[in-house]
């Protein structure tokens, strides 16, 4: 799909068993990628509902004020949803959020939680925009190590003990959700202030060739599985083979590791959403 200044191709795939909770939402000159936070229970409303409602609200705020600071855009969007739906902090569905916006000579990015944005310059250098606070929180924790050892022993995702271990890990994570305390992390939920803790970046449009925006179900293909040894390989796969082939390749690899022994993770296959933005500046540079 063509936008002013860039073309957009996408790939989306459910992890299996129920509809995807990832969303890609488009707005004039902008792309929003969200990952509805999965829950251990089947309570409603789910993260996918929240991701869709929040993505549409962000697009609405951007349409009303295309030049607003992105943290303010996200804060206003979260606040509007809290008011409209009566969401309560700590018991609301949640989502990670990334926004990429093109404004003439500038490209802006926002990342809240683990939905990275990876920009490639016209000189082939990569500039990742990441929010790794949740990964840092669980790294080395007894709850996480116990969970990893369970999978590495080949016990799989289906046993009741797997659910118990996952609930224990999630309980630890939730104690630090949207929390100012050391080790706390931030995600879009029912606390509008979370938007102020997002990671933001801007680049001159003329410097950027393309941008990858993805949920963690896709970034795992680079950082955990090594299917794409570097961001350059993932970008090239999007350019030559299109994002839908990328998400399918990652899903197929997960299917070959059904018990999580090779790559310990939270489920057999995570939902996947990948947006690939190619900017007109790179085509002008090539033809110059």
pLDDT in tens, 26-50: 999 999 999 998 555 556 668 999 9
Q: Does 37 or 114 have the greater pLDDT score?
A: 114
Q: Is the peptide bond before 48 cis (omega within 30 degrees of 0)?
A: no
Q: Does 118 or 282 have the greater pLDDT score?
A: 118
Q: Is residue 94 part of a domain?
A: yes
| Rounded CA separation 266/220 (Å) | 12
| Rounded CA separation 218/18 (Å) | 18
| Rounded CA separation 285/288 (Å) | 5
Q: Is the pLDDT of residue 79 over 60?
A: yes
Q: For the chain, how many structural domains are there in total?
A: 1
What's residue 38's pLDDT? 58
Residue 237 belongs to domain spanning: 2-283
What's residue 43's pLDDT? 62
47: Cα separation from own chain's centroid: 13
| Rounded CA separation 51/47 (Å) | 6
Q: Is residue 288 part of a domain?
A: no
Average pLDDT over residues 75-79: 98
Nearest to 271 by CA among 244, 247, 237: 247
Q: Is the pLDDT of residue 66 over 60?
A: yes
- Residue 71's region, left for phi above 0, alpha for psi from -120 to 50, else beta, is alpha
Q: Is residue 7 part of a domain?
A: yes
- Model confidence, pTM: 0.92
What's residue 283's pLDDT? 52
What's residue 287's pLDDT? 39
Average pLDDT over residues 230-235: 97
What's residue 5's pLDDT? 87
CATH of the domain at 194: 3.60.40.10
| Rounded CA separation 181/222 (Å) | 31
| Encoded tokens for 58 | 């962000």
| Encoded tokens for 120 | 């490639």
136: Cα separation from own chain's centroid: 16
With a CB cutoff of 8 Å and minimum separation 6, the contacts of 108 are: 70, 99, 100, 101, 200, 201, 202
Mean pLDDT of the chain, nearest integer: 91
> Helix 216-223 vs helix 231-241: angle between axes, to the nearest 10 degrees?
120
pLDDT in tens, 86-95: 999 988 999 9
Q: Is the pLDDT of residue 61 over 80?
A: yes
User: Which spans in the chain are helix H?
Assistant: 47-64, 70-85, 133-138, 142-152, 160-174, 216-223, 231-241, 243-255, 280-287
Segment holding 266, helix H or strand E: none
């Amino acid at each position: 799909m063509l936008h002013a200044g860039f073309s957009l191709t996408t790939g989306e795939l459910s992890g299996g068993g129920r509809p995807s909770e990832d969303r890609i939402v488009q707005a004039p000159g902008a792309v929003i990628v969200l990952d509805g936070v999965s829950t251990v229970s089947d309570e409603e409303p789910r993260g996918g509902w929240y991701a869709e409602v929040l993505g549409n609200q962000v697009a609405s705020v951007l349409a009303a004020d295309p030049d607003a600071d992105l943290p303010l855009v996200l804060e206003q969007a979260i606040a509007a949803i809290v008011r409209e739906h009566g969401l309560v902090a700590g018991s609301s569905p949640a989502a990670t959020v990334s926004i990429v916006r093109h404004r003439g000579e500038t490209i802006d990015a926002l990342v809240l939680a683990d939905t990275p944005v990876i920009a490639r310059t016209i000189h082939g250098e990569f500039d990742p925009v990441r929010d790794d606070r949740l990964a840092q929180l669980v790294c080395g924790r007894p709850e996480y190590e116990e969970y990893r050892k369970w999978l590495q022993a080949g016990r799989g995702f289906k046993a009741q003990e797997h659910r118990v271990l996952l609930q224990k890990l999630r309980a630890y994570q939730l104690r630090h959700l949207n929390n100012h305390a050391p080790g706390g992390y931030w995600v879009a939920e029912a606390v509008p202030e979370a938007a102020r803790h997002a990671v933001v970046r801007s680049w001159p449009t003329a410097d950027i060739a393309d941008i990858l925006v993805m949920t963690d179900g896709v970034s795992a293909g680079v950082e955990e599985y090594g299917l794409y040894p570097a961001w350059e390989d993932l970008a090239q796969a999007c350019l030559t083979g299109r994002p839908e082939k990328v998400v399918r390749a990652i899903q197929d690899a997960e299917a070959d590791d059904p018990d999580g022994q090779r790559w310990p993770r939270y489920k057999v296959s995570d939902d996947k959403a990948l947006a690939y933005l190619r900017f007109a500046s790179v085509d002008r540079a090539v033809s110059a």
